[in-house]
Amino acid sequence: KAGVTQTPRYLIKTRGQQVTLSCSPISGHRSVSWYQQTPGQGLQFLFEYFSETQRNKGNFPGRFSGRQFSNSRSEMNVSTLELGDSALYLCASSPRASVGETQYFGPGTRLLVL
């Protein structure tokens, strides 16, 4: 089975712009979670989607949003970019949205905000 794929792998934006990142889960996986990784804050949970519904949300401002499509692919959007949004954004998929499910991670999208 192919793993989790994320596009694009690298992105450079300027402050105030918006960005959309894409994630395709492992075939058959219906749950997609997003995480932000920065040197200062480490790995932090953004949100989780299952069956096109947001099931869980981390402590991030409303500028961060996401959605999931009927084929389980997911996108996350960050509006009005700030310098502090520079990070590696990781997507993870799991078969179900159950506590204790193993999450399988993609390679990430590295976003640089100038």
Partner 1 sequence: AQSVTQLGSHVSVSEGALVLLRCNYSSSVPPYLFWYVQYPNQGLQLLLKYTSAATLVKGINGFEAEFKKSETSFHLTKPSAHMSDAAEYFCAVNFRQAGTALIFGKGTTLSVSS
Which residues from 13-32 bind partner 1, rule CB under 8 A? 31
Q: Tell me which of 76, 93, 94, 113 binds partner 1, using CB under 8 A.
A: 94
Q: Tell me which of 24, 29, 33, 85 binds partner 1, using CB under 8 A.
A: 33
Shortest reach from residue 16's CB to partner 1, in Å: 28
| Burial (Cβ within 10 Å: 0-12, 13-18, ≥19) of residue 99 | exposed
Q: Tell me which of 28, 62, 70, 98 binds partner 1, using CB under 8 A.
A: 98
Residue 29: closest CA among 90, 72, 69 = 72
- Tell me the window of 19-27, 48-56, 66-74, 75-83 that interacts with partner 1 (CB under 8 A): 48-56
Choice between 4 and 19, CB closer to partner 1? 4
Shortest reach from residue 17's CB to partner 1, in Å: 24
Rule CB under 8 A: say whether 106 interacts with partner 1: yes
